[in-house]
């Protein structure tokens, strides 16, 4: 995890963050300290696998053990279905539970902060508009312009690893004052 992931986890610990909706599949938010139930992974998680038939969950280590044993296509021990990484590929549907929760949280947000996203990958790129339409303030932290910049209340052109620790410092100082 980098300084941005750590700042996000710290904001959650301080009670300043409800959840983290992420398109990343790298598990870095959890490694930085966010609990699983505070992270909504709309593109899945590469550290996990699932059976396409029954939905059974497996760790990456379990799948690697099967592959190390020479299994070309891992099969679910429960039903025999194909086991694949718990990530989505272009053209695949978003995980329905995660997507529904992301939409609900976006519409319930007071402040929706987009960090390090070009906002061109749909349907996830709709989330800021859903939040804004429901009355949230919108902040975008990204190095390059996004299609949603015009709707944002605040746009910060900076690296996430610089901007989020600065935000955390500001909020911490404001809280101490």
The set of residues, in sequence order, having a beta carbon less than 8 Å from that of 171 and lying 6+ positions away, is 11, 14, 16
Helix, strand or coil for residue 140? Answer: strand
User: Is the four-CA dihedral 119, 31, 164, 96 of positive or negative sign?
Assistant: positive
What does each C-alpha distance from 85 to 22, 38, 74 come to in angstroms? 17, 21, 10
Selecting among 43, 86, 104, 130, the annotated active-site residue is 43
CA-CA-CA-CA torsion for 4, 5, 6, 11, nearest 10 degrees? Answer: 90
43 is known as an active-site residue: yes
Instruction: Collect contacts of 69-75 with beta carbons under 8 A, ≥24 apart.
Output: 74/49
Are the C-beta atoms of residues 87 and 25 closer than 8 Å to each other?
Answer: yes
Are the C-beta atoms of residues 123 and 96 closer than 8 Å to each other?
Answer: no
Are the C-beta atoms of residues 25 and 48 closer than 8 Å to each other?
Answer: no
Residues recognised as catalytic: 43
């Amino acid at each position: 995890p980098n300084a941005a992931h750590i700042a996000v986890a710290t904001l959650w610990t301080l009670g300043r963050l409800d959840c983290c909706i992420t398109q990343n599949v790298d598990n870095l938010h959890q490694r930085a300290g966010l609990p699983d139930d505070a992270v909504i992974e709309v593109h899945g998680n590469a550290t996990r696998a699932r059976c396409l038939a029954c939905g059974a969950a497996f760790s990456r280590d379990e799948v690697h053990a099967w592959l190390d044993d020479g299994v070309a296509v891992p099969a679910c021990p429960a039903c025999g279905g194909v086991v694949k990484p718990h990530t989505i590929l272009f053209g695949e549907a978003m995980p329905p539970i995660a997507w529904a929760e992301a939409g609900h949280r976006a519409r319930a947000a007071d402040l929706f902060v987009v960090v390090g996203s070009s906002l061109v990958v749909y349907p996830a790129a709709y989330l800021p508009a859903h939040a804004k339409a429901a009355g949230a303030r919108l902040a975008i932290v990204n190095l390059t312009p996004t299609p949603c910049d015009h709707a944002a209340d605040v746009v910060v052109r900076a690296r996430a690893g610089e901007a989020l620790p600065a935000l955390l410092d500001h909020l911490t100082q404001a809280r101490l004052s």
